[in-house]
Structure 1
């Protein structure tokens, strides 16, 4: 009976250690900067790992008063590029903790 308690105690220590490592890596990821660019690089969108946009840079050549839809498309492409980078980084960084957990 004592052996079962010891194993449970060791398992709890490992879980706490893993939770701490996960929190540290998540915090580090949130501090990173992700820059998405449109295919022609005329629009750049900068995000934090918390998915907060911190900057949007638009090349004046992208502003065509006769074609506002083009600018919208460029902005969407840049924003989606940055968000995709955040998602991929999250899967790579945090996935090692969540892949083996039930329900994740």
Structure 2
């Protein structure tokens, strides 16, 4: 906070620009999650949106379509969860330092927490 209790709007603007830039990087980033030893691979962007799915033909047993469908569903879910964890780690890496304890006095001149907002 500047002398006299004034917010430094230049600092706030720079922080917002850094956050916007990090969000753009996340939208363009890709992370992958796999399951079944690589039989299923899911690609998500850094924001967690699924952008690709690859299923290795070896994962399909034509003699038992019901079991194959159930197994594939499990593998796809596991790969999505794996990719989501990777995306979350990337988000923390990119956005964590920029948040600087937001809601805990992280913005210059702001008191800890933001009364009236859930989770603050």
TM-score range, shorter chain: 0.7 to 0.9
Q: Give the whole-Å Cα distance in 1 for the aligned partners of 2:25 and 2:77.
A: 26
Secondary structure of the residue aligned to 1:40 is coil
SS in 1 for 2:41: strand
Q: What residue in structure 2 maps to residue 51 of structure 1?
A: 48
1:16 maps to 2:13 = yes
- The structure with the largest helix share of the pair is 1
- The two structures, once aligned, show a CA RMSD in angstroms of 1.9
Kindly indicate whether the alpha-carbon contact (under 8 Å) linking 2:47 and 2:91 is maintained by their aligned counterparts in 1: no
Specify the SS of the correspondent of 1:34: strand
How many angstroms does 1:37 deviate by?
0.7
Aligned to 1:91: 92
TM, length-normalised to structure 1: 0.82
Deviation at 1:66, TM superposition (A): 4.4
5+ unaligned residues in a row in structure 1: which ranges?
Answer: none
* Superposition TM-score, scaled by structure 2 size: 0.72
* CA drift at 1:33: 1.0
Give the C-alpha shift of residue 39 in structure 1: 4.0
Tell me by how many angstroms 1:97 deviates. Answer: 2.1
